[in-house]
């Protein structure tokens, strides 16, 4: 069938980190696992497809769209994770222009594994619940607590040791994105 390195039918690795008109902390988010599904999907770069990695227990569902920011490299060796708060689920492989609100800084099995928290950009004529949010501090406390709890519990169910280290502002989260983008560029040069 040929060389596996030529299989990747996607251009995810060519999508820039930031949206074209990024003046307000807008990044590209590629959704791996949409909200309201039991399945956890992860991008498999060798094949350019989403791989079914895990299924949550009966009765549980992913509460948010979950994916990655392209052209970033996090400490765990993967792209920087992003959790997108949205009124409706999207789909695996969906590209979203997302406004960064902040981050939940986690340690997973003794390795930093941050989650950027974002929401879709505001659209003229369409109101979303997230339009009122500009920073992670704008999220209702029960929502933020629920996000943290979900991230810790689902990961622990997979056998991982998770510690929440910090909740950080939009400004600090954008610095995390930039650091991960620089790490990606540095690795690409090597």
How many distinct structural domains can be found in the chain?
1
Q: How confident is the model at residue 50 (pLDDT cuts 50, 70, 90)?
A: very high
Instruction: Say if CB 84 and CB 120 are below 8 A apart.
Output: yes
CATH of the domain at 140: 3.90.80.10
**Whole-model pTM over 0.95:** no
Lowest average pLDDT, out of 42-46, 122-126, 143-147, goes to 42-46
Q: Is the pLDDT of residue 4 over 70?
A: no
The percentage of the chain sitting over the pLDDT mark of 70, rounded to a whole number, equals 94
**Residues in a beta bridge with 65:** 84
CB neighbours (10 Å) of residue 154? 19
Tell me which H or E stretch contains 31.
strand 26-33
Strands 26-33 and 65-69: antiparallel
Give dist(CA 28, CA 13) in Å, integer: 12
Q: pLDDT by residue (tens digit) across 73-131?
A: 999 999 999 999 999 999 999 999 999 999 999 998 999 999 999 999 999 999 999 99
| Residue 1: predicted pLDDT | 41
Backbone angles phi, psi at 71, to 5 degrees: 55, 40
132 is in which domain, residue-wise? 4-189
- What angle (nearest 5°) sits at the alpha carbon of residue 131, between those of residues 117 and 50? 45
């Amino acid at each position: 069938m040929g060389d596996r390195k030529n299989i990747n039918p996607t251009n995810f690795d060519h999508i820039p980190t930031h949206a074209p008109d990024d003046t307000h902390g807008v990044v590209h988010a590629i959704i791996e696992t949409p909200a309201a599904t039991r399945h956890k999907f992860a991008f498999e770069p060798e094949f350019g497809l989403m791989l079914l990695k895990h299924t949550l227990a009966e009765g549980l569902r992913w509460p948010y769209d979950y994916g990655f920011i392209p052209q970033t490299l996090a400490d765990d060796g993967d792209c920087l994770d992003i959790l997108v708060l949205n009124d409706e689920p999207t789909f695996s492989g969906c590209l979203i222009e997302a406004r960064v609100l902040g981050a939940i800084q986690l340690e997973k099995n003794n390795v930093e594994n941050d989650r950027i928290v974002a929401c879709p950009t505001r659209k003229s004529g369409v109101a979303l619940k997230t339009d009122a949010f500009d920073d992670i501090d704008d999220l209702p406390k029960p929502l933020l607590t629920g996000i943290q709890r979900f991230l810790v519990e689902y990961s622990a169910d997979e056998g991982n040791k998770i510690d929440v280290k910090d909740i950080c502002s939009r400004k600090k989260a954008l610095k995390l994105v930039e650091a991960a983008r620089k790490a990606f560029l540095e690795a690409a040069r090597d």
